[in-house]
Amino acid sequence: MAPPFIRIEGVTKRFGTFTAVSSVTLDIRKGEIFALLGGSGCGKTTLLRMLAGFETPTEGRIFIDGQDMTGVPAYERPVHMMFQSYALFPHMTVEKNIGYGLKHERMTEAQRKDRVREMLELVQLTEFAHRKPHQISGGQRQRVALARALARQPKLLLLDEPLAALDKKLREHTQFELMDIQHKTGTTFIVVTHDQEEAMILSNRIAVMDKGEVKQVGSPTEIYEFPNSRFVAGFIGSITFFEGKVASVAGDQAVVDVPDLGGQVTARAVPGTAPGQVLTLALRPEKIAISRARPEGPNAFEGTVDDLGYFGKDSLYKVKLASGKVLSVLSVNARRADERQRVAAWEDRVWLSFEPGAAILLTS
Amino acid sequence: MTESPDIAARHASARPSKGGFLRWFNRRGWADITIATPYVWLLVFFLVPFIIVIAMSVATRTPTSPPFGFGGDHPLINTATYERLFSDSLYIRAFLTSIRNAAFATVLCLLIGYPMALGLTRVSKSWRNILLMLVILPFWTSFLLRVYAWMGLMGNNSWFNKLLTSAYNIMAPEEWAVRSIQMMNTNFAVVLVTVYSYLPFMILPLYANLEKLDLTLNEAAEDLGSRPFRVFLDVTLPLSVPGIIAGGLLVFIPASGELIIPGLVGNPSQPMIGRVIQDEFASARDWPMASAVAVALLLLLVVPMMLYSHFEAKAHEKRAMEP
């Protein structure tokens, strides 16, 4: 396998006694969109700033395209950044902003102009070339920032919360635009975000961070469907946790005693599952089926509808189990039905069931 | 005053209701009075005296008290003062000396004050307050006292002058040796003391401007390949132009009309305009001439001010257009 394009090797960053980033090791491939996902203060922005050269790692090294970045100042790195605030130069036109980095490239004035025009076309802002940043909309500013960062054809583009400053409708549109531009240019993107949906849609791979550490690295599917810890499972999407104890293991199936569910659950075993082991069983709302009649097979539990929310395309049921624990169930409203014909209403007795593969077993 | 009828109208409309005046005062009056106060102040203490000065400048000098009058050979308007203003080289030279000294002082204040203001924005918060206080600290001593202190330092027999003289004599060839360096009563002394006195007026507006600048812009420029000095030229300097203009005017305008500094340390044979006005008023008792010089000085200073406020208004308009 080819060496990774970007290698973050045991990087630690301390500010006084506070450890912002704690021995992070990550390999990022060429041409991928990689997301650093985590809540505020998890160290994702510090890691991004170390990649850009604004902060120096206390320990560890960063390699970009095989080149050690230790001691290389920000202005000499083949890395450009799209700032969360966009940081457009207010005294320069859109065109000048985009062309700013090109001043340092060895190219003729004509080549420079061509490149700026090319970038303006890429982000569809040709007619706004002579406007100042305060004369264009937020979404347009975001595109100027992107074009400016891409103009010098960096090896790596860093995006700090690229969509945070946009309103909801614009975000959805911009997300796809961003992916499209990444596809066209083939630039490696590292995106920092606190928004899990943004990370899932945009990126090929995600690193989930917490308290300066990387908790899990994987594709959006891996992170969502196969989280390796309670933290990751809880951070991405909604989920309900149950305490359980392994009763038996047969092949790739484990039977787990879950007192709060009021019985035994058959789940797909994880490596190292052994009888007697205490672990956490996690269920996502959309993986559970809800019905009035008792379904066939294992993993069926009875409860009462405590609360329900109707969202149009789907409904969320909060079902109270015999143990008193409330389990969230998301059910797609596949059938067109009026209120009386619905699967369940308040106070109805219902059956919940799920496939063995749906339950996530977590040992940490 | 356009405000007064307005206030009266609102007052009148509020009157029929119970407790009319208090109601008016609480509802609108407070705001109106606040807005009107500076206008009234300007009217009473600037516009009216200025009209008197303009009137005086076209009056005729008489041996009476007050020493001017209207009528006689020149009914109402006598332009003799203005004719003298342009024909007598004394006035033109005084204007040129004033503007040259003030311009030198302004440029020096900028060159010294800019790095200081920039430094203030880059130090920690606690240091910043201490340093800002040090900038303002000289104001706590009498201005006159500080000018006298400089006179003591610059005098030919002072330790400071002796120190500079011996340093000069060591470095200069022997035939150029001097007994003392003539600093007092020169334009150099005027510029030096002006720079010392007006430096805070340059630093404070510059600091206020630089402090507001977004440092992520500097990071963005650095990220795009600019070395720190280039970042300064491309980002910090152009964005601090309003601060430079504000500081420059705050130094240039009072420095060109300065009376005390050139009076105490300046060259008596090259008077500055403030001195000329004083001499005409007090010694020559030629009030019309003094008024004409004052009017000319004001016009000279008002034109750059108006240019500045014009640019400011334009910049403000731009900011207001921001969505």
For B31, the token pair is 């705001």
> Looking at the domain assignment, is residue B286 inside a domain?
yes
Is residue A22 domain-shared with residue A165, that is, in the same domain? yes
Examine residue A50 and state whether it is found in any structural domain, yes or no: yes
- pLDDT tens profile B309-320: 887 777 777 665
> Average pLDDT in the A222-242 region?
92
Residue A169 carries which side chain, given as an amino acid letter? K
**Do residues A221 and A243 both lie within one domain?**
no
Pair A212, A339 in one domain: no
Question: How many Å apart are CA B258 and CA B275, to the nearest integer?
Answer: 8
Chain B CB contacts of A165 under 8 Å are: none
Contacts of A76 in chain B (CB under 8 A): 225
Cβ–Cβ under 8 Å, residues A16 and A67: no
Question: How far, in whole angstroms, is CA B60 from its chain's centroid?
Answer: 31
Domain containing B160 — which CATH number? 1.10.3720.10
A91 touches chain B (CB under 8 A): yes
CA distance B131 to B116: 10
Residue B244 touches partner A, C-beta closer than 8 Å: no
State the pLDDT at residue A344.
81
**Domain assignment present for B26:** no
Chain A touched by B238 (CB under 8 Å): yes
Are A330 and A285 in contact by the 8 Å Cβ rule? The answer is yes
A85 in contact with B at a CB cutoff of 8 Å?
yes
A103 and B323: CB-CB below 8 Å?
no
User: With an 8 Å Cβ cutoff, is A137 touching chain B?
Assistant: yes
HSE, CB side, 13 Å, CA atoms: give it for residue A222. 12
Quick check: helix, strand or coil at residue B321?
Answer: helix
**A153 shares contact with chain B (CB less than 8 Å):** no
The CATH number of the domain where A274 resides is what? 2.40.50.140
Rounded CA separation B314/B150 (Å):
42
Identify whether B116 is part of a domain. Answer: yes
- A128 belongs to a structural domain: yes
Residues B318, A83: C-beta atoms closer than 8 Å: no
Domain termination residue (choose one: A204, A234, A264): A234
Interface check A54 vs B, CB under 8 A: yes
Contact A91 B219 (CB under 8 A): no
Domain assignment present for A1:
no
Task: Give the separation between CA A356 and CA A264, rounded to whole angstroms.
Answer: 11
- Give the DSSP letter of residue B59: S
The per-residue pLDDT for range A300-318, each reduced to its tens digit, is 999 999 998 989 888 999 9
Other CB atoms within 10 A of residue B47 CB: 11
Residues A46 and A136 in one domain: yes
Q: Does B319 touch chain A (CB under 8 A)?
A: yes
A91 chain-B contacts, CB cut-off 8 A: 238-239
CA distance, residue B276 to nearest chain A CA (Å): 44
B225–A134 CB contact, under 8 Å: no
Give the best residue of A77, A85, A88, A89 to mutate against chain B (max B CB count within 10 A).
A89
User: Rounded to 10 degrees, what is the CA torsion of B76, B78, B81, B85?
Assistant: 120
* Residue B155, in any domain of the structure: yes
Does A107 contact B at CB distance below 8 Å?
no
CA angle, residues A144, A145, A148, in degrees to nearest 5: 85
Q: What residues have CB less than 8 Å from A109, skipping those under 6 apart?
A: none
The mean pLDDT of A278-287, rounded to a whole number, is 93
Both A128 and A252 in one domain: the answer is no
Q: Which residue of B has its CA nearest to A52?
A: B223
Same domain, yes or no: A204 and A280: no
- Asked, for residue B11, whether it belongs to a domain, the answer is no
A294 and B CB contact within 8 Å: no
Determine, for residues B224 and A152 on separate chains, whether the beta-carbon distance falls below 8 Å: yes
Handedness of CA B162, B165, B167, B169 (dihedral sign): negative
Q: From chain B, pick out residues whose CB is under 8 angstroms from the CB of A52.
A: 223
Distance CA A141, CA B323 (A): 12
Q: How confident is the model at residue A157 (pLDDT cuts 50, 70, 90)?
A: very high
Shortest Cα distance from A87 to chain B (angstroms)?
5
Question: Is B320 near chain A, with CB under 8 Å?
Answer: no
- Residue A122 burial (CB count, 10 A): 19
A144 and A271 belong to one structural domain: no
User: SS3 of B282, please?
Assistant: helix
Asked whether residue B217 is domain-assigned, the answer is yes
Condensed to tens digits (0 to 9), the pLDDT of residues A20-55 reads 999 999 999 999 999 999 999 899 999 999 999 999
Considering only CB atoms, A85 lies closest to which of B216, B235, B239, namely: B216
At residue B318, the pLDDT reads 65
Closest Cα in chain B to A134: B322
Residue A148 covered by a domain: yes
Assigned domain for A194 exists: yes
CA distances from A161 to A81, A108, A251, B219, B306 (A): 11, 34, 44, 16, 44
- Same domain membership, residue A103 and residue A215: yes
Neighbours of B25 (CB within 10 A): 15
In total, how many domains does chain B have?
Answer: 1
Check CB contact of B130 with chain A, cutoff 8 Å. Answer: no
A105-120 pLDDT per residue, tens: 889 999 999 999 999 9
Element of type H or E holding A308: strand A300-310
pLDDT for the residue numbered A343: 79
**In the structure encoding, which two tokens stand for residue B7, read together?**
């206030």
Q: Which of B222, B239, B321 sits opposite A135 (nearest CB)?
A: B321
Residue A134 lies in a domain: yes
With respect to residue B10, please indicate whether it lies within any of the assigned structural domains. no
Residue B110 to residue B116: CA distance in whole angstroms: 10
Of A193, A213, A234, the position where a domain reaches its end is: A234
Position B30 in a domain: no
The pair of structure tokens assigned to B83 is 């004719």
Q: Which residue has the tokens 């008489």?
A: B62
Q: Write out the residue range of the structural domain in which residue B298 sits.
A: 88-321
Query: Is B279 in CB contact (< 8 Å) with chain A?
Result: no
Q: Which of B224, B239, B322 lies at the smallest CB-CB distance from A100?
A: B224
Asked if residue B266 lies in contact with residue B185, where contact means CB atoms within 8 angstroms, the answer is yes
Domain boundary residue, one of A210, A234, A258: A234
Cα gap A132→A91, rounded to integer Å = 7
ipTM of the complex: 0.85
In the predicted structure, residue A65 carries a pLDDT above the cut 90: yes
Q: Are residues A297 and A220 in the same domain?
A: no
Beta bridge partners, A64, equal A6, A67
pLDDT (tens place) for every residue of chain B, 323 residues total: 344 555 555 555 444 556 777 887 777 778 888 889 999 999 999 999 999 999 999 988 888 888 888 877 777 788 889 999 999 999 999 999 999 999 999 999 999 999 999 999 999 999 999 999 999 999 899 999 999 999 999 999 999 999 999 999 999 888 888 888 899 999 999 999 999 999 999 999 999 999 999 999 999 999 999 999 999 999 999 999 999 999 998 999 899 989 999 999 999 999 999 999 999 999 989 999 999 999 999 888 887 778 878 877 777 776 655 44
How many structural domains compose chain A?
2
Residue A43 domain boundaries: 6-234
How far, in Å, CA of B22 to CA of B18, rounded? 9
C-beta of residue A63 within 8 angstroms of C-beta of residue A116:
no
A83 and B226: CB-CB below 8 Å? no
Say what the pLDDT of residue B1 is: 39
For the record, the structure tokens of A58 come out as 């206390």
- What is the pLDDT, as a whole number, of residue B71? 74
One domain for residues A197 and A288: no
Which of B224, B233, B236, B314 should one mutate to test binding to chain A, selecting the residue with the greatest count of A CBs within 10 A?
B224
3-class state of residue B242 by DSSP = helix
Assign residue A224 the CATH number of its domain. Answer: 3.40.50.300
A209 and A334 both lie in a single domain = no
Q: Are A11 and A21 in contact (CB under 8 A)?
A: yes
Which residues on adjacent β-strands are paired with residue B241? none
* Cβ within 8 Å of residue B231, ≥6 positions away: B218, B221, B222
| Residue A327: inside a domain | yes
Indicate whether A142 and A15 sit together in one domain: yes
Is A134 in contact with B224 (Cβ distance < 8 A)? no
Interface test with A, best of B223, B244, B321 (most A CBs within 10 A): B223
* A102 assigned to some structural domain: yes
